[in-house]
Structure 1
């Protein structure tokens, strides 16, 4: 399955929605899209994971690098609406503690602490 990337850049923060699979084959286009946003001064990003079915270690690395790049420019990267499977992967690798992941895009836009995704038992 391919990765679909949709960007809503006329909002602050910018919302980048992903569908399909984020893996070694599809991570480069996402990295390029995020790099182009950062280069254009758009450093406040919400990545909508609601349509993401799979994420491998390359995809995770892409998100971590994007987060670091946003932070270096005074912005942020927030994740939103991961499926149970993707949230579990994020929890296992410790990303839920690394940068904020919210239950919905709207919660991520508001940085609603009550809507953070937390690692389950």
Structure 2
């Protein structure tokens, strides 16, 4: 399984049975002790996902995506820092402008 550190790989793709939207997952297992590095990796990962969607490469890799909406979902193992939340808010607006949705969850341990 890929993770946030594999910035050029898509961690997981599937169709959400409740919404019918294509969900592209990012698995973020890192803590926030090195916030700068963590934010950099998250930015690089999200940029890869945007390139994957905007280039329409997704249709070659996952033909079932045809005609569906896209949601990029970050699964955080650790609650994001305040700076990370601001970053996610900014990126969410950018992605919405491109026609995609960005969401996140935090695993409860």
| TM-score over 0.5 (shorter chain) | yes
Deviates more, 1:69-78 or 1:59-68: 59-68
Unaligned runs of 5+ in 2: 15-21, 55-69
After superposition, the C-alpha distances for 1:80-108 in whole angstroms (9 at most, x for unaligned) are: 24448xxxxxxxxxxxxxxxxxxxxxxxx
Q: TM-score normalised to the size of structure 2? A: 0.58
| 1:8-47 correspondence to structure 2 within 5 Å | 8-11=11-14, 12-22=22-32, 23-41=35-53, 44-47=71-74
Q: TM-score normalised to the size of structure 1? A: 0.53
Alignment: residue pair count = 79
Output the CA distance in 2 between the equivalents of 1:20 and 1:29: 10
The structure-2 alpha-carbon separation of the partners of 1:75 and 1:58, relative to structure 1 and needing over 3 Å to count, comes to same
Between the two structures, name the one with larger relative contact order (CA 8 Å, sep ≥ 6). Answer: 2
Of Structure 1 and Structure 2, the greater strand share is in 1
- Between Structure 1 and Structure 2, whose CA radius of gyration is higher? 2
Output the CA distance in 1 between the equivalents of 2:103 and 2:95: 10
CA RMSD in angstroms, aligned pairs only: 2.5
Unaligned runs of 5+ in 1: 85-121
